[in-house]
Structure 1
Amino acid sequence: MHTNLDFIALHTTDLTAARQYYTGVLGFETTSGPPTAAVFTQAGGATLAVREPLPHEPQDHLGAGVSVWFGVPDADAYHARIAAAGAQVIQPPQDGPFGRMFSVRTPDGHTLTFHQTPA
């Protein structure tokens, strides 16, 4: 059986701050979603959301052990824009296994990697 990644939810302890980071710093656009989540518009592939953890989900180590990759048309230009907006860059732009790439850490400790994809 083949599977297709459909939805990614990253937990946050402060939904208001997370929404501001993803929209104000990273430039993501929100779409409709429940009041306990910020769901972002996607151009293709899986949908991303940041949300409050449910009561039965662990909350002691948000962001541990997960990295999420996004394709962007110009990694260097996007890096310059979000670094100027306050993103915490943990890996500067460099050539990697999938082309030009860099990584940031979100306020909740999630690692997001952006790599250059063909336009």
Structure 2
Amino acid sequence: MFTPTYYLLHVADPAKSAGFYTELFGRPPVETSPTFALFVLGGGIKVGLWSKATVEPATGGAPGALEIGIALAAPADVDAFHENWVARGLPVFQSPTDMDFGRSSMVTDPDGHRIRVFATTG
């Protein structure tokens, strides 16, 4: 059995996306090049941003078919994240909403990849 610890997103502009994720993750990438950026997060999880123009084999997928999920401690934290996001003038895909599993909100990165913040209830 294995546990995935490395996620790659195919992006149009790795430098622009790295700026976005630097703000989201609260830390800079540990590696950058014109075609790639790498973040190392808590627990050793890695998020790579690879230029979709240079990824091999060539990509055929579209953004939005996969979500990055960020678990927060409490439903109020989802609302606070949303308020901070709006205050920074960033686009919101879904305002805070109570769902079957808990409170959730969604934003998208510059390429349309979905990022869901949520707090489970119950």
Task: Give your verdict on TM over 0.5.
Answer: yes
Name the % identity.
Answer: 26
Contact 1:18 1:107 in 2 (8 A): yes
Instruction: Determine if the alignment matches structure 1 residue 32 to structure 2 residue 30.
Output: yes
Q: CA deviation at 1:89?
A: 0.8
Q: Deviations over 1:57-92 (max 9, x none)?
A: 226x54142122111231111111122223211111
| Structure 2 length-normalised TM | 0.77
Counterpart residue type for residue 95 of structure 1: D
Task: Work out which of the residue numbers 64, 74, 85 in structure 2 matches 1:82.
Answer: 85
Contact 2:18 2:29 in 1 (8 A): no
- Tell me the C-alpha RMSD between the 2 structures: 2.3
Aligned to 1:56: 57
Aligned to 1:111: 114
Q: CA deviation at 1:117?
A: 5.8
Q: CA deviation at 1:115?
A: 0.8
Structure 2 distance, partners of 1:101, 1:51, is 28
Structure 2 distance, partners of 1:40, 1:80, is 25
Q: CA deviation at 1:55?
A: 4.4
Per the alignment, do residues 111 and 46 of structure 1 end up closer, same or farther by CA in structure 2, a change over 3 Å counting? same
**Gaps (5+ residues) in structure 1?**
none
Aligned residues: 115
| Structure 1 residue runs of 4 or more that deviate by more than 3 Å after TM superposition | none
